[in-house]
Chains A and B, each alone.
Chain A
Amino acid sequence: MSEMLFTAAIARTIAEEMRRDPSVFVMGEDVGVIGGIYGASKGLLEEFGRERIRQTPISEAGFVGAGLGAACTGMRPIVELMYMDFTFVAMDQILNQVAKTRYVFGGKAKIPLVIRGQQGVGGGNAATHSQSVESLFLNIPGLKIAVPSTAADAVGLLRTAIRDDNPVLFFEHKKLYKGGKWEVPDDPEYMIPFGKADIKRQGTDVTVVATQFYVGEALKAAEELAKEGISVEVVDPRTLYPLDIDTICESVKKTGHLVTVHEACAVGGWGSEIESQVMDRVFRYMDAAPIRVGAKQCPLPFNPNLEKAVVPQIPDIVAACKRVLSK
């Protein structure tokens, strides 16, 4: 184990994979000299040079599409988006091309493409650079979606993503970048399979499903609730597609209560999807309708206090747990 920043863990994992496999390369904005604006590609240019660390013009559709073209012709590109909000600029390439190529061509192509970057509030960047956008992609078949909540999980999931022969959208959270140093396993083969949830805290009264930054917030809420005798189980799915619905359902069968927490808007978010799947499967074990905790249906404002008012806070999670328990 080593201690390092989240971004350093990402950069180290990419470097390890690039050393292992010459077909792995990085493409994206500002990945060169400055190593990405948050430093998640730091040091890569020095080691691998301009041929494999390709800093692009600000042309998200162009270089995401080029990533697809390279992926289906024998390379394993890691495309870095400066902000995952910028997926919107490349939406046709991601949704119409990347996601569908293998299927519409009758299963002939492999698409070993990773599109990664950070998202979320915490940068003071307002509406177009602070969104959590992972839920949108869940509605398009053909994309795997990873949402790590710790640097160790990020390392294991990123390695799996790079070695996967399918397109993976890899969402990091900028608040985790700023979360100090993390314990990270040093094994260059450390991998976490997709579709395997991690129970971050065991509990018996209510199941809280959260991802990314909000796993930590849910754990803090659980501490508070424990003081009141409420036992919270925090389940981190780690990938939204494929989704480990079995682990979530087993937890709900035990607790009878489900709360989903994410930074993205509650309306149409993945929390709704998980709640629906849980009700499909284990409705008879549920003691109350599940509750979504998510952002208000509102673009993210600039003012820090306004921003805080839009996205969920720990007291919101605490309140949701109590409400689902009719307490």
Chain B
Amino acid sequence: MITKERALWIYEKMLEIRQFEETAWDLFCANKIHGSVHLYLGEEAVAASVCSFMTDEDYITSTHRGHGHCVAKGGDLGKTLAEMMGRDTGYCRGRSGSMHIADFSKGNLGANAIVGGGIPIATGAALSQKMQGKKDNFTVAFFGDGACSQGVTHESMNLAALWKLPIIFCIENNGYAISLPLEDNIPTDNITDRAAGYGMPSFSVDGNDVEAICEAMEQAVAHVTSGQGPVMLECKTGRWMGHWTGDPELYRTRQEVEELKAREPIQRFRARMLETGIADEETICAIEAKVTKAMADALDFAMNSPEPDPAHVTDDVFYEG
């Protein structure tokens, strides 16, 4: 069983992600966020559990469905929301929007709107850690089942395995590459079958089960920080919403989504904490109140943030020293 401290941290992060995504959905519907957003609702356990093993010296790369990773990696709710609203106070001063949020100070090397695009970057970050002798640090590349069919994913895994880099390839398998179901995307029953090809250990766990993810992560972190090379970690989960806001979801049934929601990770973990006595109702309610307050403050911050000044639109293309 995981420690109380880790459990409460994960619960708080999952709640933050949940409330953040619900807020984002509301803002999108109210036309306060333009473009599109890819919601992480239903997948909260993965980012929160994985990142509970990481410090600011550990790196992640994220995906277009990246809000959860950003929040779990210690991202500020207000700055993240402000970025999604295109405000000057956002993480990237309104240049990235929902799909490219980065926070280098927390080790978040950025979400990436190209499917698979972040995986070689994570590999390079792990190379840095290795070359710089940072033996306790490692990198997690988050990506989905869709990215598993990108060539660069193979290239990165191959390179990381050859060079024994401290990287965990964390596959968030939500069953669909946009509208393409897993069976039409991956020719074998398990994505982790591929790990053997790189000679790397793999874990395949229920991505809605915090304890299962944490158990795998403990072993994975021990492996990658011991200089033995990368690990593949598959977390089987599911998204409640469409691929993007506006997805007609013709590829799956309403019933399937209802079944998914029955496996909802947050209530499941809440019950588990009460059941095992890790936390009592009072402690949990205090966390819930804290998160609700934090989210309200974040919304307030984002809504009241200024628009960026177009006069500075070409700043930062290059580092000017």
Contacts and interface: CB of A to CB of B under 8 A. Distances in A.
A95 to B, nearest CB: 10
B125 A69 contact: yes
Interface in A43-89: 51-52, 54, 56-57, 59, 61-75, 77
A110 B317 CA distance: 10
Contacts of B163: 54
B232 to A, nearest CB: 16
Contacts of A160: none
A65 B128 contact: no
Given A59-B159, A70-B124, A107 B315 contact: yes
Interface residues of A, number: 43
Q: Give the interface residue-count category, chain B.
A: 35 or more
Contacts, number: 143
A71 B123 CA distance: 11
A227 interface: no
B165 to A, nearest CB: 9
Contact of B93 (A52, A57, A107): A107
B316 A107 contact: yes
A101 B90 CA distance: 16
Given A62-B120, A106-B91, A73 B128 contact: yes
A69 B123 contact: yes
A148 to B, nearest CB: 20
Interface of A: 25, 51-52, 54, 56-57, 59, 61-75, 77, 92-93, 96-97, 101-111, 141-142, 144, 165-166
24 contacts: A52-B131, A59-B155, A63-B155, A65-B117, A66-B120, A66-B124, A68-B120, A72-B104, A72-B121, A93-B120, A96-B117, A97-B117, A97-B121, A102-B319, A103-B316, A104-B102, A105-B100, A105-B104, A105-B110, A106-B92, A106-B316, A107-B316, A109-B104, A144-B318
Given A65-B121, A93-B117, 8 more contacts: A52-B131, A65-B152, A73-B125, A96-B117, A105-B96, A106-B102, A109-B102, A111-B319
Interface of B: 59, 61, 90-93, 95-96, 100, 102-104, 109-110, 112, 114, 117, 119-129, 131-132, 151-152, 155-156, 158-159, 162-163, 315-319, 321
